[in-house]
Amino acid sequence: DNFPNLVFHAVDFSYGESGPAVLNSVSFDVEPLTKVAIVGPSGAGKSTVFDLATGLREPSSGSVTVGGLNPRDILFGAPGTFGIVTQRPHLVTGSILENVSLVEDSSTDQDKVQQSLVRAGLGKFTELENWFELQIKPDSGQLSGGEIQRLGLARALYRDPKVLFLDEATSALDAETEAEITKVLQSLKNEMTVILIAHRLSTVQHADKIIYLDKGKIVAEGTFAELKAKVPDFAK
């Protein structure tokens, strides 16, 4: 299957043998090419869901599959299937090309980098003369928080992922930049599955499905309107 579905089946997760349960019998599925948002208060287990879905961690019990496969097999066997945009993408010292492709300039597809930057809302950089020679120095303050975030998105898009994960990726952004990224995510609609953890309502309003997680359990799932009707906390 070109675009895999993601299935959590009765997933429990805790850190260590005797650690408290972070996730408790979590079951849901994400259909290919849909946009799904995971919401809920701090400590609900949202980031753990991501770690399990991408194969960075394995469930204590239950199963997580992506297209019927263990995510860990995909992580090592078919890299590029997942695109991951973290809360704070790390910059590398080097050219803007290297910052997007994460390999040296000579192995980088320059046109693809340009396309990824434009799609992530960083087209202004590609309009500079010899833009591809632009050198990035981490912690130099040359890029704003929003620009770093969008660079992280460009990096994920460069790999043509089948599933794009965004972990609070708009938290560092002002409303205008966030609206732009939300627009980018809308434009990816038929190209990849998008799964995002978000706090801001504007980011989740257009999701096909919203999963409300609290204390490691799914309280409810549905569209924006359905969730507003079902979950007082969400409505608030």
Predicted local confidence at residue 179, as pLDDT: 76
**Average pLDDT along the chain:** 90
Q: What tokens does 87 get?
A: 């809360």
Most confident region among 94-108, 160-174, 176-190 by mean pLDDT = 94-108
Predicted local confidence at residue 188, as pLDDT: 85
Predicted local confidence at residue 107, as pLDDT: 93
Region 168-180: what's the mean pLDDT? 70
Most confident region among 113-117, 182-186, 224-228 by mean pLDDT = 113-117
pTM for the model: 0.89
Counting DSSP H helices and E strands in the chain, the numbers are 10, 11
Kindly report the backbone phi and psi dihedral angles of residue 123, in degrees, each rounded to the nearest multiple of 5, phi listed first.
Answer: -60, -25
The share of the chain scoring above pLDDT 90, in percent, equals: 65
Region 105-112: what's the mean pLDDT? 94
Predicted local confidence at residue 3, as pLDDT: 86
pLDDT tens figures, 16-53: 877 889 999 999 999 999 999 999 988 899 999 999 99
